[in-house]
Amino acid sequence: MSSSMLISDAFTQSDYAINITDPNGVLLQVNLAYLRLYKFASEKELLGQTQRLIRSPMTSLGLYSEMWATITKGSVWRGDLTNRAKDGSEVYIHLTISPIQREGKIVGYMGFAIDRAQQVLLERQLFHANKLVVLGTLGAGLAHELNNPLASILLDAEYLKDAMRGKGAIDKAAGLAASESVIRGAERMRRVLEHLLSYSKKDSGESKSTLSLRQLVEDSFLFIERQLLSRSIDLQTHIPEDALISGNRTRLESVLHNLIGNSRDAFAGKSIERKFISIQSDFNSQDGVVTIVYRDNAGGIPAEIIDRIFEPFFTTKGGEGTGLGLSISRQVIVDHGGSIDCRSKGGETTFTMILPAKAV
């Protein structure tokens, strides 16, 4: 058997979905695994077309821009993305694209794709399990959020009852103020409970919508704000009103929940004169990105472990932590076409997240 025949058989029979394109991304050749992965009957349906044919709106345009910027320079690009099969179903892959060069000039590209369907399913199961862990650890904060307005409602209701039973004239201004206080307290409790039901619901993670970053941050404190304030932890937020992102609300909120919960736990037992958690954001419509900077002064992360904090199952909490929170958080940010990194110095820890902005 000639070497050319061996190479041809290897290409055709590979379990990897392989495609070859020209420099403009036009498909020249695909193997059987590629056809199976994207549910096409023959290569005739594909050849001569670009891979926009299988592009999914689940993958951000920013990722494609990064991909092309990398491979057109002659470098190999690797990453996870979502494509769409012929029947409309989502296809989750890990893709490697290698430029093909001849005499120093790029003459085409070769892509190798691995099906990530089972891995994505496992990630979603872990994400939902982590959500339940987060809800459990925020339970005390949730009790505060419900008990405070409930206590106010009871006091105001008692006042109104006594006022109605009295024989003298009713102070209408005081009665109106008490009624308004009851309404505000009830609305606060309803918002907390509705958000609890929404957050705890099992979510495929696929649904995306346009989100106000400011509202996302405010909602993230719903279950825990009073708990933090009762521990003298100052909350500082500065989010531009026009900062919009596209994403899955529950998944992105879980990232903030994990960071806030970690900060709360890190402050425990430490004598710090002024404790704070800060969430700041910069938004530049020209850059097309939103930068979120999360910072606390809970003592910092030791230099010898900071490179490991995003590893699955790595935890500094002993038997109390799962070690999944930051690992899952990073995956959520990456799935949204963004990035996250961590720096720690002088007792302060800073997480910087960059996400694609939603065009208005």
Specify the CATH number for the domain of residue 20: 3.30.450.20
pLDDT of residue 323: 59
| pTM summary value | 0.59
Please say whether the beta carbons of 155 and 147 come within 8 A: no
What amino acid occupies position 130? Answer: N
Q: How far apart are CA 124 and CA 121, in angstroms?
A: 5
pLDDT of residue 198: 67
Could you give phi then psi for residue 43, rounded to 5 degrees?
-70, -15
pLDDT of residue 168: 62
pLDDT of residue 167: 61
Closest CA to 234 of 277, 295, 279: 277
Instruction: Give me the domain span that covers residue 125.
Output: 121-356
DSSP 84-127: E-TTS-EEEEEEEEEEEEETTEEEEEEEEEEE-HHHHHHHHHHH
Tokens of 262: 């970690």
Q: How far apart are CA 347 and CA 297, in angstroms?
A: 6
**Listed residues 115, 142, 176: the one ending a domain:** 115
Q: How far apart are CA 242 and CA 213, in angstroms?
A: 8
pLDDT of residue 231: 87
Q: Which residues of the chain have pLDDT under 70?
A: 1-2, 123, 125-145, 167-169, 195, 198-206, 284-287, 313-314, 316-324, 359-360
pLDDT of residue 288: 77
CB neighbours of residue 72 within 10 Å: 13
Same domain membership, residue 348 and residue 204? yes
Q: How far apart are CA 85 and CA 36, in angstroms?
A: 9
Q: How far apart are CA 119 and CA 138, in angstroms?
A: 28
Q: How many domains does the chain have?
A: 2
pLDDT of residue 241: 86
CB neighbours of residue 80 within 10 Å: 17
Q: What would the pLDDT profile of 313-322 be if each residue is shown by its tens digit?
A: 667 665 555 5
Could you give phi then psi for residue 340, rounded to 5 degrees?
-145, 135
Same domain membership, residue 302 and residue 163? yes
**Listed residues 50, 80, 115: the one ending a domain:** 115
Q: How far apart are CA 63 and CA 357, in angstroms?
A: 13
Same domain membership, residue 266 and residue 133? yes
Same domain membership, residue 314 and residue 194? yes
Please say whether the beta carbons of 261 and 298 come within 8 A: no
Q: How far apart are CA 359 and CA 103, in angstroms?
A: 41
Please say whether the beta carbons of 255 and 329 come within 8 A: yes
Q: How far apart are CA 127 and CA 120, in angstroms?
A: 10
Same domain membership, residue 295 and residue 222? yes
Count of helix runs (H) and strand runs (E) in the chain:
10, 12
Specify the CATH number for the domain of residue 309: 3.30.565.10
Please say whether the beta carbons of 65 and 59 come within 8 A: no
pLDDT of residue 321: 54
